[in-house]
């Protein structure tokens, strides 16, 4: 399968296989006018299979989302057809409107305009808790 190389833009690599579409949605890449490629289940030496996102435009990267999905994701910044920067997103301290509180007792369940804010409370185990009710983020979302 051949996807053309990009000139100026971003390659988000080493996305856990099957989570590329989720990342595509959370990063709102559907709103871009430029070429965007989602490659699913690409072979990977490191993890067997992976997803890759290629965006043929310089975009503002939301590292919070990438770090939350998997800190092993790599972000490659491409300029004039060359990779000029490679980064690993860290596990973010705070997530705002990336994941949503499922606790029916939480104020966010009734007041729709409030941002859903989660704070990293256990870096070792990647545990996030809602700042309003302390409910732990649903692991199934990870």
Partner 1 sequence: MRSLIDILDLSKEEIDDLIGTACDIMDHPEQYSEICKGKKLATLFYEPSTRTRLSFEAAMYELGGNCLGFSEANSSSAAKGESVSDTAIIVSNYADIIAMRHPKEGAPLVASMKATVPIINAGDGGHNHPTQTLTDLLTIYKECGTFDNLTVGLCGDLKFGRTVHSLIAALSRYTNVKFILISPDELKVPDYVKDQYLDPKNIEYSETEDLEAVIPELDILYMTRVQRERFFNEADYIRLKNRYILTPQKLVSAKKTMKILHPLPRVNEISVSVDDDPRAVYFRQTLYGKFIRMALILKLLEVQ
Q: Which is nearer to partner 1, 61 or 114 (CB)?
A: 114
Query: Any contact of residue 62 with partner 1 (CB under 8 A)?
Result: no
- Please state, as a whole number, how many other Cβ atoms lie within 10 Å of the Cβ of residue 5: 11
Nearer to partner 1, 134 or 141 (CB): 134
Give the gyration radius of the chain's Cα atoms: 16
CB of 123 to partner 1, least distance (A): 12
Q: What is the side-by-side strand order in the sheet with 48-55?
A: 36-44, 48-55, 9-16, 74-79, 82-87
Which one, 30 or 124, has the nearer CB to partner 1? 124
Q: How far is the CB of 72 from partner 1 (least distance, A)?
A: 25
> Which CB sits closer to partner 1, 40 or 116?
116
d(CA 59, CA 73): 17
Q: How far apart are the first and last CA of the chain?
A: 28
State the nearest-atom distance from the C-beta of 98 to partner 1, in Å.
18
| CB neighbour list of residue 84: distance below 8 Å, 6 or more residues apart | 77, 78
Give the contact letters, 99-138, x = binds to partner 1 (CB under 8 A), - = no.
Answer: ----x-xxxxxxx-xx------xx----x-xxxxxx-x--
CB of 64 to partner 1, least distance (A): 20
Give dist(CA 129, CA 102) in Å, integer.
11
What is the length of the chain?
Answer: 142
Residue ranges binding partner 1 (CB under 8 A): 103, 105-111, 113-114, 121-122, 127, 129-134, 136
């Amino acid at each position: 399968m051949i996807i053309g190389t990009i000139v100026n833009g971003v390659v988000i690599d080493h996305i856990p296989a099957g989570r590329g579409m989720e990342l595509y949605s959370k990063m709102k890449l559907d709103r871009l006018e430029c070429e965007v490629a989602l490659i699913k289940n690409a072979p990977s030496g490191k993890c067997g299979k992976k997803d890759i996102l290629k965006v043929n435009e310089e975009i503002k990267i939301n590292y919070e989302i990438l770090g939350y999905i998997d800190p092993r994701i790599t972000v490659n910044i491409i300029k004039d057809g060359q990779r000029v920067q490679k980064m690993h997103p860290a596990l973010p301290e705070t997530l705002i409107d990336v994941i949503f509180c499922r606790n029916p007792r939480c104020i966010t369940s009734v007041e729709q305009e409030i941002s859903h804010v989660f704070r990293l409370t256990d870096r070792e185990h990647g545990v996030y808790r809602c700042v309003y009710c302390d409910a732990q983020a649903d692991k199934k979302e990870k």
